[in-house]
């Protein structure tokens, strides 16, 4: 089901339930539903398994008058908004990292008719979906409001602090096991490796702004705003095809002529740059941390 048809279905469903109860509010419930779905579209990302991950925790900020207009139906409204998020995720093949939660809070700084929304990824157990946990869970970004009476512009749901990430010690790597050779064996023919591209190649992982990690080194990894990029970033300051990480005896990052350039540890690169463990890669307003690992990982 497309976004427009889904909004129509949501509008008919919500308005029929809440038409009498929310007359004292200057915001229609369907506007909250549309903003929630748009939030999922705006902040989707791709995990290491190629799944499209979207926020699953949403907090709406309403003025005292608008909140009072929804007071009698708040629990039902929260339930319907959660159901709308889950149905839309099924239709669009989106995935959550945990259960969907919706909260409505009062913001005395808001005028009637204006509302804000803050969203973030909140880990939890979802049947049939397994994700590598993020190293930390920053608090959701505060909503930013505009004069638009229907929608509010919000900050990105989660951004990894590059300085905190750089300060974290790398995880210890276990030494390779040593196997005793009980007796000399007859020389055997040289085996052909299953994946010769991996021979002599450095490997590592990229920690994304969402906290997920993507393995790099076995293939060329493209980074940009396009959905078909290996790492797709929902950042208006990132070019459609911004940079590449190229495999080899050393992993190198190459800027692809992006508008805002690519930085490593705060310094803009010219051409390409060899990556080392702990490097912070900055593209637009997004920061990714490179973690080196052994070639057999």
Q: Rounded distance, CA 237 to CA 222, Å? A: 16
Say yes or no to pLDDT of 181 above 60: no
List the one residue out of 151, 173, 152, 119 whose CA is nearest residue 296.
173
- Residue 119, pLDDT score: 92
Q: What is the pLDDT of residue 197?
A: 39
Band of residue 14 on the pLDDT scale cut at 50, 70, 90? low
Distance CA 142, CA 79 (A): 23
**What percentage of the chain carries pLDDT values higher than 70?**
64
- Listed in sequence order, the residues at least 6 apart from 144 whose beta carbon sits closer than 8 Å to its beta carbon are 116, 152, 153, 154, 155
Q: Give yes or no for residue 173 having a pLDDT over 70.
A: no
Residue 9, pLDDT score: 54
pLDDT of residue 244: 94
Question: Residue 211 to residues 63, 96, 229, 246: CA-CA distances in angstroms?
Answer: 32, 14, 18, 22
Q: What is the pTM of this model?
A: 0.42
- Reported as a single tens digit per residue, the pLDDT across 210-237 is 888 888 888 899 999 999 999 999 989 9
pLDDT for the residue 11: 55
């Amino acid at each position: 089901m497309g976004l427009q048809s889904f909004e129509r279905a949501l509008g008919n469903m919500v308005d029929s339930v809440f038409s009498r109860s929310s007359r004292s509010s200057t915001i229609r419930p369907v506007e909250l539903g549309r903003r929630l779905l748009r939030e999922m579209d705006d902040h989707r990302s791709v995990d290491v398994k190629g799944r499209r991950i979207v926020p699953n925790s949403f907090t709406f900020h309403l003025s005292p008058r608008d909140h009072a207009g929804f007071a009698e139906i708040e629990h039902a409204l929260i339930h319907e908004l959660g159901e709308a998020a889950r149905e839309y995720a099924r239709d669009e093949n989106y995935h959550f990292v945990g259960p969907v939660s919706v909260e409505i809070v009062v913001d005395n700084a808001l005028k009637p008719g204006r509302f804000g929304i803050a969203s973030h990824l909140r880990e939890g157990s979802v049947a049939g979906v397994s994700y590598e946990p993020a190293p930390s869970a920053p608090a959701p970004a505060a909503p930013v409001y505009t004069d638009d009476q229907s929608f509010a512009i919000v900050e990105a749901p989660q951004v990894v602090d590059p300085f905190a990430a750089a300060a974290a010690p790398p995880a210890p790597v276990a030494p390779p096991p040593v196997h005793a050779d009980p007796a000399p064996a007859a020389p055997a023919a040289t085996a052909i490796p299953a994946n010769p591209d991996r021979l002599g190649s450095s490997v590592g992982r990229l920690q994304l702004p969402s906290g997920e990690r993507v393995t790099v080194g076995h293939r060329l990894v493209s980074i940009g705003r396009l959905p078909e990029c290996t790492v797709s970033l929902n950042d208006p300051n990132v070019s459609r095809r911004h940079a590449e990480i190229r495999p080899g005896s050393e992993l190198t990052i190459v800027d692809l002529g992006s508008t805002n350039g690519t930085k490593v540890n705060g310094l803009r690169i010219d051409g390409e740059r060899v990556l080392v463990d702990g490097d912070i890669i900055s593209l637009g307003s997004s920061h990714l941390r490179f973690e080196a690992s052994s070639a057999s990982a």
